[in-house]
Amino acid sequence: MTTSSAPGKVYLFGEHAVVYGEPAVPCAVERRARVTVEPRDDGRIRVDAADLSLDGFTVTWGGSIDDRPDIDVPAPLVEAAMKYIEAAVRQARDAADAPDAGFDITVESAIPLGAGLGSSAAVVVAGIDAATRALGTELDPEVVARRAYEAEYEVQDGQASRADTFCSAMGGAVRVEGDDTRTIDAPPLPFVVGYDGGAGDTGELVAGVRALREEHAFAADTVETIGDLTREGERLLAEADPAREPSEDLLSELGALMDFNHGLLEALGVSARSLDAMVWAARDAGARGAKLTGAGGGGCTVALDPTDETELALGYTAECEQSFRAELATEGVRVEEA
């Protein structure tokens, strides 16, 4: 039995714009997906996803998700989760040169699904790591990141950027610009996450921005401006001492860029009433900055606040189902049990 875990992430800057070659800075946060894998001899795949959704589900199939039994969970949710797991299994079989390997797979995740915290990337990263280890092959985190990206690319019909998978595999703060992916230094930023209990449809949201961008030069400019503010944010991070708590000046400057980034995402049509309400609740509580994180449409916001005020205020905000502090996860994918 082999268990690996991988963290979720928040976007400090740059979601959506990253799809068009602009830089983005996602940061891994200490909310993990854990995937446990036990090889089986009959080539079948059995998935037990105890808390991947509120209900959880168990699915057994041999070769194709089409022959799975009926189960008591919304079909699109199972469909989506199974596609990611199936793609991760394909990558693990290929990496370990074991095309017929079967697995019992248990997925436990503390990362809300489809809510902008990189849940699918974390499951795919941890799944590839655990399954290859279970087959006696140990991959470098960079290789896990590349294979996880290929898995996501396949499931998301080529719309995925490398940001989520690279960040989850490597941990810490990262910078992604097209195919160029690297880890960068960042001080321990005081992230506070607000979650509205919902989720956006990443494919639809990405397609919406693409259409706007193709139709209007000002929408294309908006995407470019997100790239500009991301570069500005990177400069601020590069000047900071990663070993020290961030200064008030740094938090205010990063926060102002986050506020700007949220406004531009709103203009591109990917925010939601609930996300705007959480962003404003955070700002009113004294957060240094706040924005939606991930594809948008619903899901999560991220704020910078070293005090407890934002978390407290979000707790009293009708649109917020859950709020929590999210520490920067310095470690990416890791084996928990071999």
Query: Which residues are known binding-site members for ATP?
Result: 112-122
Supply the minimum distance, in Å, between the C-beta of residue 135 and ligand MEV: 28
Q: Which of 41, 66, 70, 164 is catalytic?
A: 164
Q: Which residues contact 218 (CB under 8 A, 6 or more apart)?
A: none
Supply the minimum distance, in Å, between the C-beta of residue 93 and ligand MEV: 24
- The residue (of 22 and 129) whose beta carbon lies closer to ligand MEV is 22
**Residues in touch with ligand MEV (CB under 6 A):** 15-16, 18-19, 160-161, 163-164, 202, 206, 294-295
CB 194 within 8 A of CB 326: no
Q: Is 284 a catalytic residue?
A: no
CA 129, CA 101: separation in Å to the nearest integer?
A: 15
- The residue (of 24 and 78) whose beta carbon lies closer to ligand MEV is 24
DSSP code per residue over 221-259: HHHHHHHHHHHHHHHHHHHS-TTSPPPHHHHHHHHHHHH
Supply the minimum distance, in Å, between the C-beta of residue 202 and ligand MEV: 5
Q: CA-CA-CA-CA torsion for 251, 17, 113, 191, nearest 10 degrees?
A: 0
Q: Which residues contact 241 (CB under 8 A, 6 or more apart)?
A: 187
- The residue (of 164 and 305) whose beta carbon lies closer to ligand MEV is 164
Supply the minimum distance, in Å, between the C-beta of residue 116 and ligand MEV: 6
- The residue (of 48 and 154) whose beta carbon lies closer to ligand MEV is 154
Instruction: Give the residue nearest to ligand MEV (CB).
Output: 161
Distances in Å between the alpha carbon of 139 and those of 125, 142, 183, 311?
Answer: 11, 8, 18, 38
Distances in Å between the alpha carbon of 301 and those of 48, 174, 205, 262, 288?
Answer: 29, 19, 16, 10, 13
Report the catalytic residues.
Answer: 164
